[in-house]
Structure 1
Amino acid sequence: MLPVRHNFLNLFRYGGGGYAEKSIRQQFNRKINFSSWFEGSMNGLKGKECIAAFDPSYIRKSGKKTYGKDRFWSGKDQRAKPGLEIGCLALVDVGDSTAYSIEAVQTPAGMKSQLVAHYVGIIKKNLRAVLCYTKYLAVDGYFMKKTFIDPVLLLRLEVITRMRPDANLLYLYNGPQNPGRGRKRSYAGKVNVKKIDKRKWKRCYKDEDMEGFELKVWCVALKRIVKVIHLESKARKGYVILLSTDTELQGEKIIRYYQLRFQIEFLIRDAKQYTGLEECQARSETKLYNHFNLSLMTVSLMKYSCWANLPDKNETPFSMRSIKIWFYNKYLTETIFSNLGLDLKYNKIRKLYGRCLNIGAMAA
């Protein structure tokens, strides 16, 4: 509910005197097991259709002594900038189209040649938590690399991602083979991704703006058979190529799962805007780790406890802003009512209390 920057001093100021600023700083030195916290809090998702999503995010941070300070890619600015980076692993509820944070791990400085291995390590560390819910991992086009996909497949996860517009794909040959010695024919020519031969492809998706076709092909970059979705935009006359390492997954589901990957970006956006993801004063590795994960987990817990169980959630979009305002109003109202000695057992006082809680609330 903090209406100011999320740092140790303001936590003390709004904490009602429970802990001194120094005590809060010291407590942040104790590393929290957020993976276990996630498993204990989100058990209700186990019976639902889910996918995992992973995305690195740039974090603004100044200071020469901050752990992990380096130059990292900022998607918003489309260039590398000095600051920090976290790799965020989340679980996406397919039915509710929303993401919940599992764990965010900071990228150490000087990892340019080992970034992919570091990202795989984050997924491997949380593998047990992920496999309890799903076997599918959705990532953006940066991870369309053999060095990422092969290790993830060894972890028993299937990858859904986006390919380059000039992807090197080969049709599989299913015709009769020549008798005799020699290597059998495996491929039936290269796929022209700019203009596919729709006689060989199966339509799997169609709406007012997009039309999708699916086919099993040989991916030269990955050296394996994959299922590819060729999505064509009618309005812009462009196309997008999606890939799934699970060749039996329906094309429509591949499209749906990749679209849901963006929910992790909305999770990070809400954490930056409302729970102080970029406002940490700390410089040490453990304090930064706790701050990043507390910020992301706060948004996740608010979604799960305040929105996910609403009977009309399809008509009521999740709004972290409204939840934050509600808790701030509650803090102010209870403080004022307590100081005035107002008793909530009276109907008029209760009605006034209820009206105070929803001042300024709005939908997302």
Structure 2
Amino acid sequence: MNVLEILKDFTFRCKSVFENTTTKMSKRFLNWLILTIRTVALIPGKVNFTRLSRYGGRTAKTFASNFKTSVDWMKVNIGMALDCFGSSDDMAVAIDPSFISKSGSLTYGIGRFWSGVAQRVKRGLEIMAIGAISLSKHTCVMLGAVQSPNFRTLESERHMSMLGWYVALVRSKATELLSLTDILVADAFFSKYEFVNEVIGMGFRFVGRLRANSYLRYLAIPDSSAPCRRVVVCPVENGEPLLYFSTDTDMRPEKIIDFYRIRFQIEFGTRDAKQFTGLQSQQTWDRDRLDFAFNLSFTALNACKEVIRKDYPSLSLAQFKRLIFESYLKIIQKINHRLTQLAA
């Protein structure tokens, strides 16, 4: 394996992805964006404006100002999902709120949110991660991230609950997501009448799991206006059975279970973005820059996985990131050696 070629190959792949999915960027900004994604992919440790400047060859001020630019991240990542999965019928859209550690009092959206890792409410930020999952590929392509307002802002300015915010968010992305697939998967938190019936009205088929405290001993009352649902009971050894369901009564029971279980790939995607592409190391408090940073992290992760899938299938994400950093160092060494020869 030629280490020097890895960074060049990654840059070429990024360029082809953006050129095939969007035409609304200037050539100058597109070149900067590809440079930034490449820099995010190779930086070891935290990703912030200071480190982007150190490894990317641009000033921190340049990165900070360009992070205010609007980019159609969803369109770019849907293009990568279609390239990875094709137009198969085993694809679904998964959503999953994720806690982001952040300090400071001026940061947009700072508040108290549930952290699944800590199993308690913590002070920080929350994003809604959106991803495309595939049963046959057994992976997830991250489509985008939308930051959640804090509870105080929702109640005082928008007069809605957090669940209402999630409904509004899915509605705002429904057209783009339905162009990919009409199956939506989410965890047990979203298995509520208000949410499920709203997404059905948008045109989705919903797959989820009933909450542990669900009480299913009431007689069913026929209602022609209510959508029928299929419930699948999955026995668990030495525990309560798990109750999966789908609003599509024609969906096979095993497929309902498979869709819900593959949903965990979006959580793995968020974890990888936190570990390798700086999802949780933003150096800004501005709303637009935060949105850019979250989506940049997911897109950089997708680009890394795309190159691994096509060219280096034997490498893990950690190995690929280490090799791309080594490739960067070797290129810098060659440049320095050439400059030394010219100076002599």
Structure 1-normalised TM-score? Answer: 0.74
5+ residue gaps in structure 2? 1-41, 340-344
Q: What is the RMSD computed on CA atoms of the aligned residues?
A: 2.3
Cα shift readout 1:83-107 (whole Å, capped 9, x = no counterpart): 0000011101221111111110000
State, as a whole percentage, how many aligned pairs show the same letter.
31
Distance 1:326 1:241, change over 3 A: same
| Matching residue's letter, 2:306 | Y
What residue in structure 2 maps to residue 145 of structure 1?
Answer: 192
Which one has more relative contact order, counting CA pairs under 8 Å at least 6 apart?
A: 2
| Matching residue's letter, 2:130 | L
Task: Report how many aligned residue pairs link the two structures.
Answer: 289
After TM superposition, give the deviation of residue 297 of structure 1 in Å.
1.4
User: Is 2:131–2:144's contact at 8 Å kept on the other side of the alignment?
Assistant: yes
Cα shift readout 1:138-158 (whole Å, capped 9, x = no counterpart): 100000111111110011101
User: Is 2:228–2:248's contact at 8 Å kept on the other side of the alignment?
Assistant: no
**Mean Cα displacement is larger for which, 103-112 or 247-256?**
103-112
What residue in structure 1 maps to residue 75 of structure 2?
Answer: 36
User: Is 1:7–1:280's contact at 8 Å kept on the other side of the alignment?
Assistant: yes
After TM superposition, give the deviation of residue 166 of structure 1 in Å.
4.0
Structure 2-normalised TM-score? Answer: 0.78
What residue in structure 2 maps to residue 122 of structure 1?
Answer: 169
Please say if 1:27 is aligned against 2:69. Answer: no
Match of 2:325, SS state, is helix
Superposition pairs of residues 258-337 of structure 1, within 5 angstroms:
258-307=260-309, 309=310, 316=314, 319-337=316-334
- Partners of 1:68 and 1:164 lie apart in 2 by 28
Out of 47, 50, 67, the residue aligned to residue 87 of structure 2 is 47
What residue in structure 2 maps to residue 7 of structure 1?
Answer: 48
Higher strand share: 1
- Partners of 1:219 and 1:271 lie apart in 2 by 46
User: Is 2:189–2:211's contact at 8 Å kept on the other side of the alignment?
Assistant: no
User: Is 2:80–2:141's contact at 8 Å kept on the other side of the alignment?
Assistant: no
What residue in structure 2 maps to residue 207 of structure 1?
Answer: none
After TM superposition, give the deviation of residue 14 of structure 1 in Å.
0.7
Distance 1:219 1:324, change over 3 A: farther
- Partners of 1:223 and 1:102 lie apart in 2 by 31
Cα shift readout 1:252-307 (whole Å, capped 9, x = no counterpart): 00000000110000000000111111100110100000001111111122212322
Match of 2:268, SS state, is helix
Please say if 1:76 is aligned against 2:117. Answer: yes
| Matching residue's letter, 1:22 | K
User: Is 2:45–2:276's contact at 8 Å kept on the other side of the alignment?
Assistant: no
Distance 1:256 1:40, change over 3 A: closer
Distance 1:55 1:218, change over 3 A: farther
- Partners of 1:323 and 1:219 lie apart in 2 by 55
5+ residue gaps in structure 1? 171-188, 191-216, 343-364
Higher helix share: 2
- Partners of 2:86 and 2:179 lie apart in 1 by 7
